[in-house]
Every structure is written in structure tokens, then in C-alpha cells.
A and B are shown apart, each in its own frame.
Chain A
Amino acid sequence: MIGLWLLACGASGVDSAGPPVDSVPAQAEPLPPLHEPLDAPRLLRRLSLDLRGILPSVDELDRVQDDPASLAVLRDAYLEDPRFEERLATLLSERWHTLIDEFEVEYFDYDLDSELEYAFERAVGQEPLRLMARVAASDRPWSEIVTADWTVADTLLEGIWPLDRDPGEGWQVARYTDGRPAAGVLATNGLWWRYVTNTGNQNRSRAAAMTRLLLCEDYLARPVSFEGSVSLVDEDGAADAIRNEPSCQACHASLEPLAASMFGFWWLAQYSALEMTTYHAEREPLGPEILGVEPEWFGTPIAGLADMGSEIARDPRFYACTAESMAGLLWRRPVALSDFERIERFRRDFLDSDAQLKALIRAITDDDEYRAGVADPAEPDAHTTRMITATQLDSLVEELTGFRWTFGGYDLLLNDTSGYRVLAGGVDGYAVYRPQQIPGLTWTLVVRRVAEAAAAHVVAQELMGGERHLLCCADMSLGPEDAAFEEELRHLHWRLFARVPAEDRLDRDAALWRAVNDEFGAGFAWQALLTGLFRDPALWVY
């Protein structure tokens, strides 16, 4: 929504070779502070959860406690952390919606073992997300997400798709060998398996998805009225209306030429792995033939997807949309028209950096709106707290305790077929488009079960002589009368909540431990206390 406004007001020129160049000087005046910011340790916690999906280490918390100025240094270090790329892919999935649980081609179409069903679904959906995340993480201009002549792939995709993949573990740069154009995500199977088309639709829905995702322009948001004058029942009448009827032309004048450029991904059989695996360059001419228009990018003739990618890279709307959508993803709330001035500043910083996404993220996370800790009570719409959702829950708990909730090849916090992704506030990409913002019943239940499992795991591992992830000092012989017991509690509060506990809180923790210990012994007492700490809302609200 804001994207259109930015375009109207941004007065950006267009450089023929790259991102647009602003003709309006950047405003130097800082915006007045909106809210009281979080203290440094808790802001670091927010940054770490947003950029890495895990909590900061005790050393990192100590560092910003002693020197709040080191926040920026640590934030920049997080942007270089290997986990940033994965976290960014996850963040982008909330908007690109490619991590769905079922595609029109299934694992068995490739004769994959049933245990690979989940890995297959996620690999396909991750392809475009990982490509974008790789562009950002490796400091390439964001325009490469629509111009790159490469994609990324894991070994599973390498084994089933026509890919020449660089050697190595995990996600590596790969190139399709089926002659598809260089167009970044626009040339990935993962994107177009998610956004399918059919004989009636003829790539129009894909064109509309592309403008929605990359330009923040939604054709369906355009006010159109047919006024009963259009005959759509017979095929010729519909085709004629699309070309000549003003109410139809309002959208189709630009939509049809975009769709016409996408017929290399036109699959003759919708559920055929053979058809959907490869790009069909020989079908590119079908676009003009079927739709009766030549490929164009909003009036500029293009020769196909590669040209389309280049045009997007030159389009000011692309950068405005990126700034708007990244702000929403990091603010963890929908963007409003009142956010325009801030987003415009982010956009300028983004363009000033040769359109590197890390610069945009720096601009957003340096801003008062991101750092908000406490708002004026008179502002009921201020958004000073965020809630951890499924993906963060998954990565946070594993890093903290070593426990990852998997079963039968599925990550139970990251899927809906047999898991709890949506129930834990996540996005399924199909019927749930935005992460949950306020705790609900199923979210609370998932947190409870994860806390119970993680606590049981910590006791079974760390208090029984195994490797330590979380605990510093506890052992089965300690009780509240021991100094090391309190030391453990202080350590846990700092690590989990970035807070120094008050005495009465320590007393409350000890009371829980004692109550369970008296009845069931130390093992259950630690399990209960850890479960309680893991369920403390201070852990899940950031």
C-alpha cells in the first residue's frame, strides 16, 4: 500500500544500469524519539532473536551491559553470523509464503523415500528464500535477487533437478542446466511451484504474485467495476473484454504483458514432475500467442524473464517495497501509512549502500521504532513488545538446550502436517499469512509442551553428566541453601531473560524447587524449575 505512495512522492530517477538514483536530497533532521528504548541487554536480545533466531550469549550480554556502545558492533557481528542467512530466509518466508507443506509434485514423484517427504517440501520452498538470503549475507546488491544467473541448492535438490551445484555441505550456489534465463528468484522452481497457474489463468496469477511480492502492488486492491457491460461467458467475449473493456484494461493492460513473459514455466501437465522440473525455453513464444500481447514491463518491451529481472532492478518501486516489507518483518507488525517517513529514510539508506540489504537492516534496527521498549500509555497502538513464534521457538530451544522437537523426519515446530507450526503462531504460507502477534491458547500450549520437553532434556543430559549447553553450576546435590544454587539461578535469569533477578524472584524460584524436591526429589525439582523458567513469559516476549 505504501509502495504506491512512495512512488508518487519519491521522485526517483532511473539509472539504466542499476538501482534508481534519488534526485531528492536526504533529510538530515532526526525524527523525534517515539518511545523509551529498551535497555542495552534486552535490545541485544531482540536483535539476536530477530537476526539469528537465538538468545545472546552471556558474554555478549555482559559486554553490552558494561558498554552499551558495543551494541552496534554486536549487531554487525550478528549480520555476519552464519545463522543470519538462515534466519533471513525464515523471515522472508513470512512474506513469500513458499514454505508450504504440499506441492503439486510430491517426493514420491522422484522416487524419494517417504522419510524424505518433509526434507523435500522444505528444500523446494527454501530455494527462492535461500537465494535471497545468500544475496544479502554475501553483501551483493539486492537487485541480484532478480538478476542472478545462479540459485542455491542442497544435495536433495541437486539430486532431482537439473542443477550444477558447487561442492560442499548444506546450501550451495548452483546453476540450472536447462537453459533458463538469469533472473534470480524469478527463475527458480521453488517460487513457481508455490505460485502455480493453469489453463484458465495463463500465468496471470503469477504475474500478480510477482508484482505483489516485489513491488508491493496488488492488482486485486485496484477498484474496478464492470457495471454489467462485459460479456465474459464465451471465450472470445472474455478475450475481447480483456483487450478492450476499460474496466478490464485497468489491470490487464499491464498484467497480460507480464504474464506473456513467463511461459518458459508453462507446464503442459500440472502434476507432472517431468514437466515441472525443467524450464521450457521453447515455450516462451506461447505467451504472445496465447495472450495476444508482447511481453512488456509496464510499457517497456522486454524479451523475457531476464529482461524482466533487469527492469525490476531499475524500478524504484522494487526498493521502496523492500524497505517497506523489511520494516514490517523486523517490527513484527503490519506497516501503516503513518510509518511512511521512517520507511522513506530506510529506503534512502538502502539505496545509498548500493542496495545492500544489511544496510537496510542496520537502518531499521538503528531506528527508534525498532528499539522501542516502553511507550506512552496514551499511545494504545504502540508496538513495544514482540512474541516469539514457531521458527524462533525451534531455533532458540535447540541452541539453548540441545533439544529439537523432531519426529519421523519432521521438525514438529516447522510443519503443520503433523506438527505445530501454525498452532505456535507461525505462518503456513497458504491459509495463515502473518505470524501471530498476541499469545493465544494454542501458542501457550505449544510453549508449555516445548518447555516441558526441553527441561526434561536438560535434566537428563546436563545433570546426568552430559555436555552442558545451558547450566553453569547446578548439580543434583545442590539446594537453595548453597551459594552455587543461587549462582545458577542468576546465570539462568541473565541468559534467558537478560535480567538481573530481584531477591523475591529468587525466593520464588527456590520455593518451587523446594516444593517439588520435598515430594519427588532433586531431579524432578530441577525439571520443574527449568520448566517454570522456560515458560516464564519473559523468555517468549522480547
Chain B
Amino acid sequence: MTRRQLLGLMGAGLVVPRRALAAGTERRFLFVYNRGGWDTTRVFLNKLDDDAYDTESDATVRSQGISWVDHAERPAVTEFMETYGDRASFLHGYEVRSVTHERCRLLSLTGSSESGVDDWGAVLAAHATTSPLLPHVVISGPAFTTRYTDRVVRVGSDGQLGTLLDGTALLSSDIAVVPPMDAVNAHVEDYVLALAQEYERSAADASALSMHGGVAATLRDLGTLQDRGGLQITRQTAGCMRDLAADCSAAFDLFSQGLARCAMVEFQGWCGESWDTHQANERQSLHFQTLFEGLVPAMAELDSRYGVTGAPLADEVVVVVFSEMGRHPRLNTWDGKDHWTYTSAMLLGAGVRGGVQVGDQGSDGLGVAIDLATGEPSASGTTLLPGHLGATLLALGDVDGAEYLPQGEQPITALMV
């Protein structure tokens, strides 16, 4: 049953969903990007019995809600899967179509190699029906935008957004700047907003309206934000790296207040070492352990929060955990693994069918074609691309993906409740 079919039945009063969206809300999306290319066989993709893949000899397969590759070095993974596995699904064997990090980042987030496109987060944000003040917040990590640049709010690698908002940015200047007083600012704000609104009203064509409307809208948004007491997104560290749980928490703050529809956070591996293990592939284990050390408290926090309507926030939020590429099935000379164009992603949360694994990689290392509706391998099925992941996310966000998926990729309905 597809989501649309399900919704149809719901409309007819035939089905009562476990997690119905409250009126006035919409699905929100947290993207957790793992920079460098992860080895999916360490957690998600079970290839322990396939000689074509170099895997850990002492790893086992566990099933509790979902099946995963378990190892004593990764207790956080175990805890996560035991606790949340029944809400998670794994998508395997989608082909990014490149093996360079930069190009794969673009491809995995947009489905296209063209630079003039918008990523899934920006598209979802642009179609937000609740008009959030900060549609897509990039707390850390990539964001590709062309058409919807105004919907993306970047926090900055050093938390620059916070200093811009509170004005302390001006204290960091070689030429000493005396920041204006609040009382003076109030006059200036009124003056500038009146000007912007006047330009917006008198815009002579669509381009001018878009431009001046954009200025006026952001000025109004900033005023609203200030009235709400500002925005607290600060960069927090956990030992030698960014605190992933804190970054996720910041995203949930925004979601719970209805301020954002999407957020992006980046995890660069243990101590920012990167997942790019051309040497010493055993470091993947440490990276996964550290990633899930962040995800466990993040999920616990998500479950403890409520959205703007008072409904559990978990009923609104989709979490997408992904990397720009996978790693080669075989170890190289330096016991590392080189880049691989096929990879896996983990989805969980609102609208995601839990405990499901869709797709696979064969002994040839290639992705296996599947039936999008059942998720089962099918010789006449579909070879998965990032666009299929994107189509699924857009469908979960009630966005018509046709405009954004030039190759016509369809949602993987097997992943959707």
C-alpha cells in the first residue's frame, strides 16, 4: 500500500494511523551527512558471508527490529539498533555515479551533476506550507542551492549566524566599530522596513518583486525572530570534535518551535578524522561507534520533545543518515578501502516504515535492481540512484518531485508507511 493509498483510506475513516500528523504541521527533515564515504558493510549491509567483500571476521549479524552488522567495538550501534531499529530502514545499493567526494556530495543531495540545482533540503523547505522563518538551516555540512537560495540559512562553520544576530560580529574588526545603540537601531529598522515594503509594493516586474519581496520578507522575519528572543545556535564541541548530539538538539529546537522545516548537520568521523579510510579501514568501526554515540541521545531527545501543536515531535521528523559514497568491497594494499559509487543510507522517523531493508549489492559490488513498491530484488526492477532517495523524501514531504527529478525517479514506496 502506498502512502497515497493509505491516506485515501484514512480519509474514508478506514485506518487509524499510529502516527498521524496533527493539523497545521508538516514533516520536517534532519539530514545527518557523514563526510568522506562510509563502509556500509560495517553496520548496514550484511556481507559477512560474501567472499567478494572484505569484512570483519569477528562481526555478527543481529536482528532486533532490524538486522545489522554487530561488533563488540560498536556498543553504541548495538544500543541504537536495539532501541530504534524497529523505526529505522536501510536503503542499500544506490549508485551515486561518481567516486570523487565533491561530485558525490552534489549527486547524493540533488541527484544531478549540474551545479544549477537545489538539494532535497532546499526543495522541501521551499515547499513548506507553514512558512517557517528559517526554512532550511545548515548547522554544518553542505547545501546546494540555485533557485531557493533564500530558503537556506547557514549558521556558519564557526557559528557566525549567532554573532550576526546579536551584533557581536562587529566586535571582531581591525577598524574599531562602535555598534549602534538599540534605541537608535529601532528607528533605523522602521525606516529600512518601510523602504523595503514600498519597493515591494511598487515592483515593476517579477524579478524586482522577487528581489524586493525577499528583502522585505527577511526584514520581517528578523523582526519576528528578535521578538521571539533571538536564536541560540552555538557551536558545541565534544572533546576533539563537534558535538553531533548538540547539533541535532539545535535542529530539534528549531523544529519544535516551528522555525525550520529542514536542517543539515555534518559528522566528519571520530575527531573530525573523516570517513575517507584509504588506509586503515578499521577506523570505520570507530567512526560508526562515535556517530551512533551521537545519534542515541539525539533520538532520545527527539522522542522527548513536542511540536508546535503539542503533538510529539517524533511524529513530524524524518531523520536521514547518509554519506556521499560507499567504500570498495575489497581492502587495498594499505588495508584501507577506496571509493565506491554504491552506498547505503538510513532513514527513520515520521512516515518511514521501520525494520525494513531495501536494495542490496551483489557479489559483483553493484547495486541490485528492485521493485520500488515491495523493495524486493527484481530483474525487471529499478536500479537505484540518489534521485530515488530524493523522490522518497519529497514524497514524504508531500512535494511533487517531477520538477526536481529530471530522470523521472519515483519514490521507493517500500520505505514508506
Which residues from 372 to 417 on chain A have a C-beta closer than 8 Å to any C-beta of chain B?
A: 374-377, 379-385, 387, 403-408, 412, 416-417
B366 close to A (CB within 8 Å): yes
B365/A233 in contact, CB under 8 A:
yes
Are B161's CB and A200's CB within 8 A?
Answer: no
**Partner-binding segment picked from B149-157, B238-246, B397-405:** B149-157
A425 → B minimal CB distance (Å): 7
Query: Taking A201-B100, A384-B208 as contacts, is the C-beta distance between A439 and B218 under 8 angstroms?
Result: yes
A-side contacts of B154, CB under 8 Å: 422-423, 442
Q: Is the CB of A220 within 8 A of B177?
A: no
B146 and A434 within 8 A (CB): yes
* B-binding segment of A23-31, A125-133, A178-186, A523-531: A523-531
Contacts of A405 in B (CB 8 A): 173, 175
Interface residues of B in 90-143 (CB under 8 A from A): 97-100, 102-103, 105-107, 113-116, 133-134, 141-143
A/B pair count, beta carbons within 8 Å: 238
Q: Is the Cβ of B181 less than 8 Å from the Cβ of A430?
A: no
Q: How many residues of B contact A (CB 8 A)?
A: 87
Alpha-carbon gap, A322 to B178, bound state (A): 46
Give min CB distance, A419 to chain B, whole Å: 7
Taking CB as reference atom, which chain A residue is nearest B147? A437
Are B180 and A452 in contact, with the CB atoms below 8 A?
yes
Q: Which of B170, B172, B184 contacts A520 (CB 8 A)?
A: B184
Residues 428-442 of A at the B interface (beta carbon under 8 Å): 430-434, 436-442
Query: What is the CA–CA distance of A516 and B114 in the complex, to the nearest angstrom?
Result: 50
From the candidates B106, B160, B161, B212, name the one contacting A419 in the complex (CB within 8 A). B160
Cβ of A441 and Cβ of B153 under 8 Å apart?
yes
Give B24-65 interface residues, CB cut-off 8 Å to A.
Answer: 52
CA distance A112 to B52 in the complex (A): 47
Instruction: Give the segment of B4-12, B199-207, B283-291 that binds chain A.
Output: B199-207
A416 touches B156 (CB 8 A): yes
Minimum CB distance partner of A538 in chain B: B199
CB-CB under 8 A from B149, the residues of chain A are 425, 434, 436-438, 440
Inter-chain contact A532/B205, CB cutoff 8 Å: no
Contact between chains at B151 and A440 (CB < 8 Å):
yes
Q: Is B366 within 8 A of A226, CB to CB?
A: yes
Query: Which residues of B are found within 8 Å of A535, using beta-carbon distances?
Result: 188, 192
| A425 CB contacts on chain B under 8 angstroms | 149
Q: A442-B154, A531-B180, A532-B192 given as contacts; is B212 within 8 A of A434 (CB)?
A: no
Contact A537 B195 (CB under 8 A): yes
Smallest CB gap from A454: residue in B: B177
Q: CA A445 – CA B215 in complex, angstroms? A: 10
A177 in the interface, Cβ–Cβ < 8 Å? no
Q: Which residues of B contact A231 (CB under 8 A)?
A: 364-365
Is B369 interfacial (CB-CB < 8 Å)?
A: yes
Chain A's closest residue to B119 (CB) is A431
Chain A hits for B363, CB < 8 A:
233
Contacts A334-B116, A532-B192; is A456 near B102 (CB within 8 Å)?
A: no
Q: Can you offer 22 A-B residue contacts whose CB atoms are under 8 A?
A: A199-B338, A220-B103, A234-B330, A379-B205, A385-B207, A404-B175, A406-B173, A408-B172, A412-B173, A419-B160, A420-B160, A437-B149, A438-B150, A442-B161, A445-B161, A453-B170, A453-B175, A508-B194, A512-B191, A520-B184, A537-B199, A541-B212
What are the 8 A-B residue pairs with the smallest beta carbon separation, nearest first? A220-B113, A431-B142, A200-B338, A440-B150, A439-B214, A433-B115, A334-B116, A444-B218
